[in-house]
């Protein structure tokens, strides 16, 4: 079961699933960071209007949910954020999310909400220790085959480590980014 959100894009109301929302928000923030302040508002309005038009064209009825696939198609049509130039501002330093993932409270262990294969334990440990997720996954995979202890450690961590709160992942509350 996925969460959905009601959003207003280009003055049109949409129901969007949570993954699609965070991807689209990250995309918009990335574009914003590449625009000069004098042009930012007008260009962002144009991009939002184009996004809304693309969503309306691809939804068969108004109550249909905007999915991650539809957001990715819209981004492919509009263009990557890097097509808008180099970054001029770093929103992450100002407490905004340039990338909605990767924000956490320093010193607190959480299971990752987005970078997960099973329960988000490996990604959470990687964020906590500041290392690559692939390394933690390889270590966990080896531990799984060396004995059943690795399996039980993963299950226990999955149960006791809390899921990363949405307030942290959306970056709106000024949490520090992973370094």
Instruction: Give tens-digit pLDDT for 58-84.
Output: 888 777 889 889 999 999 999 888 887
pLDDT tens digits for range 86-135:
877 654 444 443 343 444 445 678 888 777 788 888 888 888 888 888 88
Picking from 26, 46, 37, the residue whose alpha carbon sits closest to that of residue 97 is: 26
Please report the pLDDT score of residue 161 as a whole number.
86
Q: Give the Cα separation of 60 and 99 in Å (integer).
A: 30
Q: Are 73 and 20 in contact (CB under 8 A)?
A: no
For the beta carbon of residue 44, count every other beta carbon within 10 angstroms: 14
Token match 């991807």: residue?
23
Confidence of residue 176 (pLDDT cuts 50, 70, 90): very low
Picking from 40, 38, 68, the residue whose alpha carbon sits closest to that of residue 55 is: 68
Q: Tokens in use for 179?
A: 């370094």
Q: Are 135 and 126 in contact (CB under 8 A)?
A: yes
The arithmetic mean of pLDDT across residues 123-149, rounded, is 83
Residue-averaged pLDDT of the chain? 77
Residues 6+ apart with CB under 8 A from 64: 15
The answer, yes or no, to whether residue 175 has pLDDT greater than 80, is: no
Q: Give the Cα separation of 166 and 5 in Å (integer).
A: 13
Please report the pLDDT score of residue 89 as a whole number.
62
Upper half-sphere CA count for residue 57 (Cβ side, 13 Å): 11
Cα torsion through 89, 95, 100, 101, rounded to 10: 110
Residue burial 64-80, b: 16+ Cβ < 10 Å; e: rest? eebbbebbeebbeebee
């Amino acid at each position: 079961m996925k969460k959905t959100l009601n959003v207003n894009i280009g003055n049109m109301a949409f129901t969007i699933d949570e993954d699609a929302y965070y991807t689209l928000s990250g995309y918009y923030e990335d574009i914003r960071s590449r625009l000069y302040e004098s042009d930012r508002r007008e260009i962002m309005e144009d991009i939002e209007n184009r996004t809304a038009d693309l969503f309306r064209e691809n939804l068969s009825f108004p109550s249909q949910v905007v999915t991650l696939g539809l957001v990715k198609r819209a981004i492919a049509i509009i263009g990557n954020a890097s097509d808008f130039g180099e970054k001029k501002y770093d929103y992450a330093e100002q407490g905004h999310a340039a990338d909605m993932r990767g924000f956490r409270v320093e010193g607190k262990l959480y299971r990752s909400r987005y970078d997960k294969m099973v329960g988000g334990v490996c990604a959470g440990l990687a964020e906590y220790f500041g290392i690559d997720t692939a390394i933690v996954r390889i270590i966990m995979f080896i531990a799984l085959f060396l004995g059943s202890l690795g399996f039980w450690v993963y299950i226990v961590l999955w149960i006791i480590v809390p899921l990363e709160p949405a307030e942290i992942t959306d970056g709106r509350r000024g949490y520090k980014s992973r370094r």
